[in-house]
Amino acid sequence: MLHIINKSPLGNNSLDACLRVAASGDILLIEDAVYAATKGNAMEGKVREAMSRLKIHILLPDLEARGLADRIIEGVAKVDYGGFVDLVAANKNCQSWL
């Protein structure tokens, strides 16, 4: 399934909760959640660890808007809005971690 997160991992536990629960599937980080996919943030270790069992994607326009496109963790997949739609369509179901 697809998990969508839109909150910064440093101000909200949504990413933490998602990583705790999800054993496999896709995670898409959008809006403020894109900070989780940047090098040097406090969640980097957890994100890297999760990448062995989950495919992590970020919505690139949201990362670019925040001035951090050059700091993306290697192995995180960049998607545009079309890629967002493809992810939703490719998955059976979807959970938005509000």
Partner 1 sequence: MNEVKKFLFVNRKAPYGTIYALESLEVVLITAAFDQDVSLAFLDDGVYQLKKGQQTKGIETKNFSPTYRALDGYDVEKLYVEKESLDARGLTEEDLLVDVTVLGSREMGALMDEQDVVLSF
Footprint (CB under 8 A) of partner 1, residues 25-44 = 25
Helix ranges restricted to H, the chain: 14-21, 44-50, 60-65, 81-90
- Residue 72: CB atoms within 10 A of its CB come to 17
Q: Which is nearer to partner 1, 24 or 67 (CB)?
A: 24
Residue from 6, 7, 8, 22 binding partner 1 (CB under 8 A): 22
Q: Can you tell me the distance from the alpha carbon of 98 to that of 86, in angstroms, rounded to the nearest whole number?
A: 21
CB of 13 to partner 1, least distance (A): 6
Residue from 9, 30, 56, 97 binding partner 1 (CB under 8 A): 97
Give the binding-site size for partner 1 (rule: CB under 8 A).
Answer: 17
- Residue 84: CB atoms within 10 A of its CB come to 18
Contact positions vs partner 1 (CB under 8 A):
1, 13-14, 17, 20-25, 92-98
